[in-house]
Amino acid sequence: MICDDKSKAYLYIRTGSTLQDVQSSLKHKGYLKHPKWFAWAAQLLHYEQSVKPGKYELKQGMNNRDLIE
């Protein structure tokens, strides 16, 4: 789930979320220009085994690596 206000956007990752859940949330709200590249980068960085729940601030200009980290 992504929460937007006028100055900031946040991604909320729930306990038990998968890489696909995170990618879907980011894609649905237009934060991914190239979802396939995001999935590729996430696999290279082993993100699918380390999805952590929490609240994450999204900033303008973030790249795939920034989003994953």
11's CB contacts (< 8 A; 6+ apart) are: 1, 2, 22, 25, 26, 31, 55, 56, 58
- Predicted local confidence at residue 48, as pLDDT: 83
- Predicted local confidence at residue 28, as pLDDT: 87
- Predicted local confidence at residue 15, as pLDDT: 95
pLDDT beneath 70, residues of the chain: 1-7
- Predicted local confidence at residue 37, as pLDDT: 92
> What pTM was computed for the model?
0.79
- Predicted local confidence at residue 7, as pLDDT: 61
- Predicted local confidence at residue 4, as pLDDT: 54
